[in-house]
Amino acid sequence: MNRFLAYLFLAFISWSCAAQGNSEMNVKPEVNLEQFQRPKLVVGIIVDQMRYDYLTRFHSKYGSGGFMRLIDGGFNCKNTHFNYVPTYTGPGHSSVYTGTTPRNHGIISNSWFDKIEKEFVYCAGDDSVISVGTPTAAGKMSPHRMISSTFSDENRLFTQMRGKTIGISIKDRGAVLPAGHTANAAYWYTGKTEGNWITSSYYMDVLPQWVQDFNASDAVEYYLKPWNTLRDIQSYTESGDDLNEFEGGFYGKETAVFPYDLVKLAPQNGNLDILRSTPYGNSLVTDFAIAALKNEKLGTDQYTDILAISYSSTDYIGHNFGVNSKEVQDTYLRLDLEVERLLKYLDKEVGQGNFTVFLTSDHGAVDVPNYLRSVNIPSGYIDGLLVKSKFSEYLESTFRSKEIVENVSNNQVFLNKAELERLKLNKDEVCSAIIDEIISYDHIDKAYSARTIHNGSFTSGIEALLHKGFNQKRSGDILIVNKPAHIQYSQTGSTHGTGLNYDTHVPLLFYGQGIKKGQSLEYVPITSIAPTISALLKMSYPNAATGQPLYFVLD
């Protein structure tokens, strides 16, 4: 009997330990992390608004040195998804580097209504710092609204601040959030008449000389030139017609067709800001990243450095022209060359076997609803003014006050608690009544109270994604889910933000030191990236990480 009890005890202990593992990803014990040599450099690449199918749809047109080098020589996680809502740039970049979701890192959108301050706040905005490198407010940025650490932070702590971290992106939030709280620097682009790389006093008081020299050169102005297709446009059979009714285009050009004379178009399109919406914005990021690698001597000593790169022009172009456009295809063929150029520099200056790269995205995007309707796929546009008018009438007729709703944004309703108290209304009853009203609106598919989402134990479906995206301190009182492919947006171009596959399914490629060659269709949540890099570097996971390392990609 004693032997039986001993076996039973051991079995219980084994079950208990297994039960403590995070449900997002099963961890296999076979991987011996001690065999890994820490790479000298980790390069994280986020391609803004890159759908997974851009890898497969344009596959035959890519060369061998960019995306295909990462795929053939590294590990391709083909079924990687964002495991929360909303799928926007700020939350996406934060989740990749923190290993958790907005529920824990706090970046619930790009901008959101602050329930305490009673105003909108920007995910990277910080009025306590000053701009460096520009006289404008474009540099008043920091990661202070992100409340958890990143793997780049953990690397800084692990190396006693000897390992460097630098973030680079056209967008401020694409540079600031991945770089984390302890970064040596984050740089982003300001266009208009400046065309400079800038930062904030959060990182430094004066731009380094190499950045000043870069800004003083003609590196930016060089790209103010015609944008024509990289190859014969007739060969771009993986995208729609060049002339169609589903694209936005540039001011000053009647139709959104190639070529685009950027010198001529720049004055009506933000001057040097026009580069954001062309593939040349990505080229500029590669130029600056290589300058940073060279001048900061990244990956040249025994302490691992982190270079966080975000290619943002892909997002601007997708929003403008739509995911099925010739412009998007040309952008990715050109980005393939940028990735190749970056890898070749790493080969030469850091050395093969000394660096690790991962490439992913912060979200995908929906096909233009007008295009979907033209091929009989259910989709549509939301008339925001009409919905607001109808909803206001409902509030007035039902509660005798429109002020009980303080704000409606990011598919969330924020109630005015002071007004509820004045009218002696029960908050839960008001939420229930509002949900009953808005669920009748044609474009709305589902609606939930914050209490339902926060207290629920959801393991699948949109409810689980809402749960992981819900932040008790920052999110609204009612959460709204629109019908698939129904957006409040212009009649041209693509957007994103939902928990549907077109927004959640993104590429994930690992390559280099410590990475196996292979591929997998196993489901991978985006929160697995940071713990995987942390395991590779033999260090602590980001402090709020909920993901688990991908044992099968580690060599």
In angstroms, how far apart are the furthest CA atoms of the chain? 89
Answer whether 30's CB lies under 8 Å from 296's CB. no
Q: What residue spans of 208-302 are helical by DSSP H? A: 209-216, 262-265, 280-295
Report how far apart, in Å, the C-alpha atoms of 11 and of each of 6, 22, 27, 231, 381 are.
9, 20, 19, 63, 56
Backbone angles phi and psi of 360, in degrees to 5: -150, -165
Burial class (CB in 10 A: 0-12, 13-18, 19+), 26: exposed
Residue 531 CA to residue 538 CA, distance in Å, equals 10
Answer whether 50's CB lies under 8 Å from 314's CB. yes
89 is catalytic: yes
Would strands 41-47 and 305-311 be described as parallel, antiparallel, or unpaired?
parallel
Answer whether 505's CB lies under 8 Å from 81's CB. yes
User: Smallest Cα–Cα separation from 522: which of 26, 30, 46, 23?
Assistant: 26
Answer whether 493's CB lies under 8 Å from 248's CB. yes
Indicate the residue type of 302: Q
CA 35 vs. chain centroid, Å, equals: 32
- Sheet arrangement for strand 518-520: 131-132, 196-200, 185-190, 165-169, 305-311, 41-47, 355-360, 508-512, 75-77, 518-520
Q: Locate 547 and state its tokens.
A: 């993901």
Q: Locate 47 and state its tokens.
A: 């391609």
Answer whether 357's CB lies under 8 Å from 75's CB. no
Q: Which of 80, 87, 89, 229 is catalytic?
A: 89
Residue 327 CA to residue 319 CA, distance in Å, equals 11
CB atoms within 10 A of CB 100: 27
Ramachandran class of 297: left when φ > 0, alpha when ψ lies in -120 to 50, beta otherwise: left
Residue 253 CA to residue 256 CA, distance in Å, equals 7
Residue 299 CA to residue 289 CA, distance in Å, equals 13
Q: Locate 423 and state its tokens.
A: 């009218």
User: Smallest Cα–Cα separation from 532: which of 154, 250, 173, 243?
Assistant: 154
Mind spelling out the 3-state secondary structure of 43-108?
A: EEEEECCCCCHHHHHCHHHCCCCCHHHHHHHCEEECCEECCCCCCCHHHHHHHHHHCCCHHHHCCC
Spatial neighbors of 52 by CB under 8 A, at least 6 apart, are 78, 80, 364, 505, 506, 507
Positions annotated as catalytic residues are: 89
